[in-house]
Amino acid sequence: MAKANVISKNDLIKYAKECLATNGIEKFTLRSVAEMAGVTQGTIYYHFRTKEQLLLAIVQDISKNSWAEISQKSNQYIISEAIESAKNRCSYDSYFHKLFSALLVSSFNNEKMRIQLGEIVSNENNTLTQNLSKFWSKSPIDGVSLETWGILLTAIVDGLALQALLQKDFPVEKTYEEVEQLFKGLSNLLYEKDE
């Protein structure tokens, strides 16, 4: 029996994530989300006009929630937590990165979607920059701003995720251990400069 048409957007996103994890992106439909949530398709359309809008909301929700969790950690653990979070989403079967990549390709022909994805990436860059500023008082390398570090680190994480999507044997553990060493080395540079 369908639930009353009173369901929050956040609850629908939660059901949509479950549906995506269960069915995969290939079989993801608004109808399957409605069935999982126990609501009518009209209820889904009330909150999300298109499948793409719902998929964008999922990407935005995952991104926002993962950074909210990381931002609550103490300063000394922010980098380690951010790396661990990125590593956990980096796999051959990562539905988050499959979804993000599929939306990215679709956005090349949909300017509104492209702008929305650009805003998600920009928010990730800004959040990473804010978290870096808690960890680093200034850039470890002269001439490279914390804002640029935020952009570069987002690009590194996204690039690693793309490689993992394409290569079953991508060395995720080794690569992320070395990314963490990179951050430690950069931090050491900063501390040496301050002495």
Walk me through the domains of the chain, giving residue ranges and CATH numbers: 1-49 (1.10.10.60), 55-194 (1.10.357)
- pLDDT tens across 34-83, in order? 999 999 999 999 999 889 899 999 999 988 887 777 666 656 566 777 78
pLDDT in tens, the chain (195 residues): 444 457 899 999 999 999 988 888 888 899 999 999 999 999 999 999 889 899 999 999 988 887 777 666 656 566 777 788 888 888 998 888 888 898 999 899 999 999 999 999 999 899 888 888 888 889 999 999 999 999 998 899 999 999 999 999 999 999 999 998 998 898 888 877 766
d(CA 112, CA 107): 8
pTM (two decimals): 0.80
**What is the widest separation between alpha-carbon atoms in the chain?**
68
Q: Is residue 87 a contact partner of residue 172, using CB atoms and an 8 Å limit?
A: yes
Helix H or strand E segment including 13: helix 9-23
The tokens 């937590």 sit on which residue? 81
Phi and psi based region of residue 50 (left: phi greater than 0; alpha: psi -120 to 50; beta: remaining): beta
Shortest CA distance to 51 belongs to which of 38, 32, 66? Answer: 32
